């Protein structure tokens, strides 16, 4: 293959030659000429390109500024250098989805909004600290943000929560037929990489991450039946999760003027006070029931009515609403196995007094540790049985059970937030910055759930596919550069079609 070469002559002129490489040796094929003036040098370069085109039909991949006809798809590998490869494609796709979700309409000045959206996008591409996100934005995409600007603007973003929630509700209505009739609510805890607490948010409490010696916050999340977040709340780390339900529901109901709403939550949310408040606000509820807290007569009644029949259900009236009970043979085997393990632990603790600790089936009787047989008998009557409290009257028992099982959508959203988006540990100290951090994570979660719902693929699969499209930056010996993008694979093309995005 021919190549244009420029060299300096002894007289100080610039010589233009056509050369080719044979066995790593340079052979001059045609000497075009030499000149001192830039205009004449440009004319010689054009003449060299014309000679190459006429002599071999070969065009160069790097266009010459003075020879626009030289643009081509031919790459001279032995004359070029690969500078870098980056996954710019995934950034472009996620940026377009930010626009679709309406995030670019948030009431923030343009430069500050770009910084916020870039941090949201980087939570999906390469989660980590915000300073790491700024560094990767520069390295991978050539996008520059000042770190001082970030930490100056970060605290103010917490005020955007109402606007973001409205955008997410609008998205759920337009794209996923959300009508406010059913929401799912749960809480989790996020810990800090520090042992210092404060009196506002960073407080030690019951940790779902088993980080009991580290301060944490409690985060409540409200999602649709498909797992799209539509509301969230940030509470002190020692807040009892059952006390977060009503503030969240009341705020949501008031903001959108909701008249009919059913909230689905786990057993920790149910209390007589919460039941009374839900009924007072004319709301429906469906929550898990902790059957072990029931009295022995009622447990016996439930056990007898279900009679160990797989798939059997019952409905009883209680002070906390209608109690729906269901028996599953698979759950029976699991519960029995779990109880037997706990009994073994209690017996081992009795045999090894030095290793005693608080165990479910171990009690102290006359200063002697004993197995609590009464509690074991009570637990055995509940093997295989799951309970649900509700004030819904028009649904069948099975429909109630099926609705409750969709609560896994919230649990999945928490797993995505903690694992894929690495929302914890948290490194911020001030309450405003902490709430802004959660806002960024929820916005990223919304993007992720939109991808999952539309493509029916996991978030990791989506991001892996989008990252597979690489941009290669190539430079020749004259320091001219060009960027080439890898071919869009059928899998990526299918993903784009499901997102209704063209490439």
What would the pLDDT profile of 226-268 be if each residue is shown by its tens digit? 999 999 999 999 999 989 999 999 999 999 998 889 999 998 8
Lowest mean pLDDT among 52-61, 186-195, 415-424: 52-61
Contact 221, 186 (CB under 8 A): yes
Phi/psi region, residue 145 (left: phi>0; alpha: psi -120 to 50; beta: rest), is beta
Q: Of the candidates 491, 490, 468, 476, which has an alpha carbon nearest to the alpha carbon of residue 60?
A: 476
pLDDT number for residue 103: 96
- Say if residue 492's pLDDT is above 50: yes
- Say if residue 350's pLDDT is above 70: yes
3-state secondary structure of 312: coil
* Separation between Cα atoms, residue 224 and residue 168, nearest integer Å: 10
pLDDT number for residue 25: 67
Q: What percent of the chain has pLDDT over 90?
A: 56
Residues 73-86: pLDDT tens digits?
455 666 678 888 88
In 10 A of CB 154, how many CB atoms? 24
pLDDT number for residue 385: 97
- Say if residue 445's pLDDT is above 90: yes
pLDDT band (50, 70, 90) for residue 72: very low
- Say if residue 460's pLDDT is above 80: yes
pLDDT number for residue 432: 95
* Separation between Cα atoms, residue 402 and residue 370, nearest integer Å: 41
pLDDT number for residue 503: 64
Contact 369, 349 (CB under 8 A): yes
- Say if residue 170's pLDDT is above 60: yes
pLDDT band (50, 70, 90) for residue 356: low
pLDDT number for residue 65: 42
pLDDT number for residue 137: 94
* Separation between Cα atoms, residue 363 and residue 263, nearest integer Å: 38
Average pLDDT, the chain: 88
Say which residue, 347 or 327, is predicted with more confidence: 327
Mean pLDDT of 352-380: 83
Q: What percent of the chain has pLDDT over 70?
A: 92
Mean pLDDT of 408-426: 89
- Say if residue 329's pLDDT is above 90: yes
């Amino acid at each position: 293959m021919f190549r244009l070469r420029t060299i300096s002559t002894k007289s100080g002129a610039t010589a233009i030659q056509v050369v080719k490489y044979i066995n790593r040796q340079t052979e001059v094929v045609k000497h075009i000429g030499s000149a001192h003036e830039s205009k004449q040098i440009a004319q010689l370069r054009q003449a060299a390109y014309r000679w190459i085109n006429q002599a071999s039909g070969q065009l160069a991949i790097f266009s010459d500024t003075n020879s626009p006809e030289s643009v081509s798809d031919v790459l001279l590998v032995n004359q070029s250098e690969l500078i870098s490869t980056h996954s710019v494609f995934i950034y472009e796709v996620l940026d377009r989805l930010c626009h679709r979700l309406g995030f670019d309409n948030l009431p923030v000045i343009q430069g500050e909004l770009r910084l916020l959206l870039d941090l949201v996008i980087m939570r999906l591409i390469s989660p980590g600290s915000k300073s790491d996100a700024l560094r990767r934005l520069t390295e991978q995409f050539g996008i520059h943000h000042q770190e001082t600007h970030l930490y100056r603007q970060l605290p103010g973003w917490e005020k955007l929560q109402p606007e973001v929630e409205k955008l997410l509700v609008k998205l759920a209505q337009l794209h996923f037929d959300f009508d406010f009739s059913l929401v799912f609510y749960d809480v989790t805890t996020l810990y800090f990489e520090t042992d210092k607490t404060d009196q506002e948010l960073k407080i030690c409490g019951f940790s779902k991450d088993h980080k009991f010696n580290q301060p944490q916050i409690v985060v409540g999340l409200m999602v649709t039946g498909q797992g799209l977040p539509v509301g969230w709340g940030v509470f002190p780390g020692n807040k009892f999760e059952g006390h977060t339900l009503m503030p969240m529901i009341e705020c949501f109901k008031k903001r959108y003027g909701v008249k009919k709403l059913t909230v689905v939550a786990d057993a920790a949310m149910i209390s007589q006070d919460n039941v009374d408040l839900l009924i007072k606000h004319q709301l429906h509820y469906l929550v898990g029931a902790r059957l072990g807290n029931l009295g022995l007569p009622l447990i016996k009644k439930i056990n007898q009515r279900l009679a160990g029949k797989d798939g059997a259900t019952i409905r009883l009236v209680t002070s906390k609403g209608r109690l729906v009970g269901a028996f599953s043979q698979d759950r029976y085997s699991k519960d029995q196995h779990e109880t037997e393990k706990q009994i073994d632990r209690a017996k081992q603790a009795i045999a090894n007094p030095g290793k005693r600790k608080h165990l479910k089936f171990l009690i102290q009787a006359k200063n002697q540790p004993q197995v609590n047989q009464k509690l074991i008998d009570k637990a055995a009557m509940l093997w295989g049985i799951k309970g649900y409290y509700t004030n819904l009257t028009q649904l069948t028992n099975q429909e109630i059970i099926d609705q409750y099982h969709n609560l896994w959508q919230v649990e999945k959203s928490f797993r995505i937030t903690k694992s894929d988006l690495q929302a914890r540990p948290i490194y911020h100290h001030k309450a405003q910055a902490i709430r802004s951090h959660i806002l960024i994570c929820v916005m990223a979660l919304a993007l992720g759930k939109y991808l999952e719902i539309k493509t029916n693929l996991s978030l990791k699969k989506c991001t892996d596919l989008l990252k597979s499209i690489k941009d290669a930056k190539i430079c020749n010996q004259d320091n001219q550069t060009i960027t080439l993008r890898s071919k869009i694979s059928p899998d990526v093309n299918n993903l784009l079609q499901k997102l209704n995005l063209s490439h």
